[in-house]
Structure 1
Amino acid sequence: MPPSVAILGGGIAGLSTAWHLQKLLPAKIPITLFEQSSHFGGWMESELVTRDGRRVLFEGGPRTLRIVGEPGKAMLELVHSLGLASSLKSVPKTSPAARNRYIYRGGQIHLLNPTPFNLLFSRSPVYAGILRGGVREAFVRRNSADDESVWNFFARRFDPRMADTLASAICHGVFAGNSKEMSMRSSFGSMWAAEQRSGSLVRDTMKGVITRSEDQAQLSNRWSSHETASFQKRLQQEASVVCFDQGMGRFPAAIVQDLRKASNVSLLGNQEVTKLELQEGPFSTIIHTKGNQPSSFSHVVSALPSTQLSRLLPTLANLSHIPYTTVAVVNLAFPSNVLPIRGFGYLVPGPELDATGGVLGCIFDSESHGDLEITRCTIMAGGWAFSKYFGDPTTADHDAILETALRAMRDQLGVTVQPLSSRILIQRDCIPQLLVGHHKKVSDVQDKLQEFQGHVQAIGAWITGVSVNDGVLAGRTAAEQVARSMNIEL
């Protein structure tokens, strides 16, 4: 059949795939994106509300973007190509939002600043085990198992106290997940690989200092012009993270706006895919959607959650066992600068969850945006323990969740004033949990997709990374693979 591409899912990975495809493929090849809701952009959602004549920006998902590594580079390339460079707000590396990270432990918020003096003399529980762990890490034997939990990795290589505090807090901040169940190999693959490669993270880091520049030189420059490269270099030198002055929703909205200009791209909202039929000789996929006639495509890229993909392709039924967490997101705005500390925010490790009523952490949004006249914070709660603290997500009490957030502001930060505005979102099944053994599920999927000779691909948070940047890079990579499958020179 004539070449054509279907993309399933209109989150950032699906949008990135469509955008890069329309740059690589001839204009005569149709590209169709199916999204089951009316919203494109996945969890990237911004809302501007007005209270008492003041405009307040609330974020429902990610609020800043890191700019390091190849994923960060891919994101900046796309931002620049979309003409969004002037909309970026960078957080300087010298700012409190970049320098100050906190952890709630033992009933107090502690600054995480592991200087030699603090490691030697501070009694703060956040430093417990770091010095001992750092000294012994180079002498710990390599693990012979093919995977282990994040908690076990840190406890084995460093110190159980580090695992209880730092590893647990990081898992809450990245995955809203339980460090005693999350896979080290799949969740923090670079650290896992470092141990396997060099037997020690310390020794591997020393090698990496020598080879990093060589590795960076090998990265593809296909998507970078000289102007784009200069833009990236400047930001990576000056900034820690970036955000958009009109909110993170500006990013997917700009991709959608650009795609709608392309004559060969169709963005179909409110189009739930209900069935995939794989045909051979020549290969094609028949896509069924609710209330519409089936349509055939030569190539398919799925950017769907694993649970949805498993229902469409029974051969991938194993994906249905990948769990997802639900996170309560509570946006709060206060009429003045009410925070007693400055920084990015704080995280809560697992041993403190009962004391906080299920709060995973608090992000100081106004710090990243440089808006200190109105204090904006986001409380994240629930995650892997959502049902324990808030019950069924479909019937969870929003007032009780708001009270939990306000209690956290009061008890942990000393903020007693009432918010100018608030918003509660229950983000159901928003983050895949990469549990121990997850790599086996991914490997099984990749082996089965190989049978389709590049005509069917799967990307998304469960397989290519949970960050926005991971989604952008995965979409770019998928687009390049489609083009190669069509024998289009890159």
Structure 2
Amino acid sequence: MAGFTVLGGGISGLSTAWYLAQRLPRTATITVIEASDRLGGWVRTEQRTAGGAAVLAEKGPRTLRTGTSREALAVLELVDDLDLRDSVVTAARTSAAARNRFIYYDGELNRMPTGIASLIGGLPPAARCLASGVWRDLTTRSTHDGSNTDESIHSFVGRRFGTAVDDNLASAVMRGIYAADTRDLSARALLFPFWLADRTGSTGVLRGLARVAKLSRARNAVHAQRDLAERLSHAERRRRNPEFWDTVDAASMYSFGDGMQTLADALTTALRACPNVRVLTGSPVVALRTKDNCAEVALADGQTVRAHHVISALPAPRLAPLLGTADPSESLASMSYASVAVVNMAYAARNVTPVDGFGYLVPRASATQSGALGVVFDSRALPPQDRGAAVERLTVMLGLPSGTNATVAVAEEAALQTVREHLRISQAPADMDATIATHCIPTYTVGYVDRLADIHAWVSRQLNGRLSVVGAAYGGPAVPQCVLHARDLVHRHLRLDDNTALEAPQNVTGLEEIVRGFDL
């Protein structure tokens, strides 16, 4: 039986289905199955009103980074393919949002250095530990035990650069990305080049980075043909739409005039327009099994969907129970996720915040009972989204420790307290709305790389080799990482030379290159 079934209608599932639809012949069926009534997952934009003006409220990711990495280009090329070029709004590299990023430290916003020029006048208090941290690393030989043993980011950064660098800086960044504590997060997974530099030499981390870069280039030589094909394809895109590519080249970040949901909606529309694609919503999956040399997906309403291969874009812990308990995966079931409260605030005035920039993060050293992880100055970051209205939008991110029973009212009060204390904003917002995002961000805790290898082996044994996985739990939680992982998985499944499907290569788990990337 030809065709694929994709479980999950978030950005990973939608991207996977879209890439399949572009590569497979029309005779191959593609089915997308989503348990909820909407598609897009955590990518969600709401249209609200503040002071009589229409305002956007992003409930999930809000901006995308430009650049030349494979991840950044994967999303930009997807935007190009979906004809969303005219919907893109950008922040220039010279904008305040690109240049000004802050850390809340010792009761004040500290602007972080972004280059040599920004160091004129000295380091802000939060970053003064960097000087001693760099000196410590340069003058201290590596102190690892020579093994591949993982350690927490807190342990690694403290050992090499001093605990202040972690308390004041690293913890802020990781709280902002993963809503988690560096004392729990894996150094091997999230700081791999630094971790590898420490493990492969005795001269310290910073001196070892050049050696790691050389090793990385040698390891990536296996992808020379792929990389050349991608460069040639990208060059052709630039010739077709030079104005769009010139615009994003000059930008540091971008989104869409109507918010990030534009991307998810465009993928949904494109998929529904494909005659060989079927999209099912409100259809929870209850079991996965093999039958008659194919994979069978059982739904809660009694339906079954059969396909040659299943690609799961579900959160990791939801997958194992669907396959029964004969061969359980402790690594998959134990994958943890962080929860956050997203509080969107809109003021009926401009210049409400005391500084101009993208926003700020709160390090562990400055954490308060409110649980604030950081605040994004949405209107300052992408003014075109306000369409000229005299409003200012902020988003307060609050961490929700495991077991916390947060309510919307509690989250909104915590957000008001945060902007009063951190930004000295006393006026009431014209609109405020909190969303409790439960288990929304996978946390790559200590031992993650070994668990990922276990999951890779486990997936290869399921459904007679007819199962693959994709999504934030594996290749990284950001939208660009999810999109690139989806594209790479599809390319691994399909022939690139003649657009025909392979006979479902055995043991294509979707984790091959990710696991290999962590090898020493």
After TM superposition, the score normalised by the length of structure 1 is 0.90
Deviation for aligned residue 1:367: 1.3
What is the CA-CA distance between 1:285 and the residue it aligns to? 1.5
**Does residue 38 of the first structure (1) align with residue 58 of the second (2)?**
no
2:399 aligned with 1:382, yes or no?
yes
Match of 1:170 in 2: 173
- Which of these residues, 294, 315, 331, is aligned with residue 305 of structure 1? 315
* Residues 448, 386 of structure 1: alpha-carbon distance in 2 compared, 3 angstrom cutoff: closer
Structure 2: gaps of 5 or more residues: 505-520
Q: Does 1:238 align with 2:250?
A: yes
Q: CA RMSD in A?
A: 2.8
**Contact 1:114–1:127 (CA<8 Å) still a contact in 2?**
no
Q: Could you give the per-residue CA deviations for residues 208-259 of structure 1, whole angstroms, max 9, x where no partner exists?
A: 8889999799424186461247578535531111111110000010011011
Match of residue 347, structure 1, among 361, 384, 407? 361
| Matched residue type, 1:42 | G
Cα separation, partners in 2 of 1:270 and 1:76, compared to 1, 3 Å = same
Q: Is the 8 A contact 1:309 1:316 kept in 2?
A: no
Return the match for 1:487 from 502, 505, 519: 502
Q: Does 454-463 or 443-452 show the bigger shift? A: 443-452
Q: Which amino acid is 1:376 matched to?
A: R
Please say if 1:153 is aligned against 2:167: no
- Distance, in Å, in 2 between the alignment partners of 1:93 and 1:71 is 19
Q: Which amino acid aligns with 1:136?
A: R
Aligned counterpart in structure 2 of residue 332 of structure 1, from 326, 331, 345? 345
2:431 equivalent to 1:417: no
**Equivalence map 1:392-411=2 (5 Å):** 392=405, 396-411=406-421
SS at match of 1:266: strand
- Is 1:248 matched up with 2:260? yes
Q: Which 10-residue stretch deviates more, 206-215 or 129-138?
A: 206-215
- Paired positions, count: 478
Compared CA separation, residues 440 and 358, structure 1 to 2 (3 A): same
1:305-347 CA-partner distances (Å, limit 9, x unpaired): 0110122134343111111111000000011121110111011
Which of residues 270, 279, 300 in structure 2 aligns to 1:258?
270
Contact 2:343 2:396 in 1 (8 A): yes
Would the alpha carbon gap of residues 73 and 116 (structure 1) be closer, same or farther in structure 2, given more than 3 Å must change?
A: closer
- Residue from 282, 286, 292 that aligns with 1:274: 286
Once the two structures are superposed, residues 361-414 of structure 1 have per-residue CA deviations (whole angstroms, 9 ceiling, x without a partner) of 10000112124831100000024x365xxx32xxx3322221111111111101
C-alpha separation in 2, matches of 1:405 and 1:255: 33
Equivalent-residue separation in structure 1 for 2:470 and 2:243 (angstroms): 28
Asked whether the equivalents of residues 454 and 482 of structure 1 are also in contact (C-alpha less than 8 Å), the reply is no
Do the aligned partners of 2:24 and 2:501 also contact (CA within 8 Å) in 1?
no
**Greater CA drift, 182-191 or 198-207:** 198-207
Counterpart pick for 2:372 among 343, 353, 359: 359
Paired residue type of 1:340: P
Inter-partner Cα distance in structure 2 for 1:234 and 1:211? 33
Find the residue that maps to 1:419 and give its secondary structure: coil
> In the alignment, what sits opposite 1:202?
206
Asked whether the equivalents of residues 361 and 380 of structure 1 are also in contact (C-alpha less than 8 Å), the reply is yes
Q: C-alpha distance in 2, partners of 1:448/1:209?
A: 31
Return 65-74 or 121-130, whichever deviates more.
121-130
Residue in 1 aligned with 2:511?
none
Output one character per residue of 1:92-131: Cα deviation in whole Å (capped at 9) or x when no partner.
1111111111111112211112767987975743113201
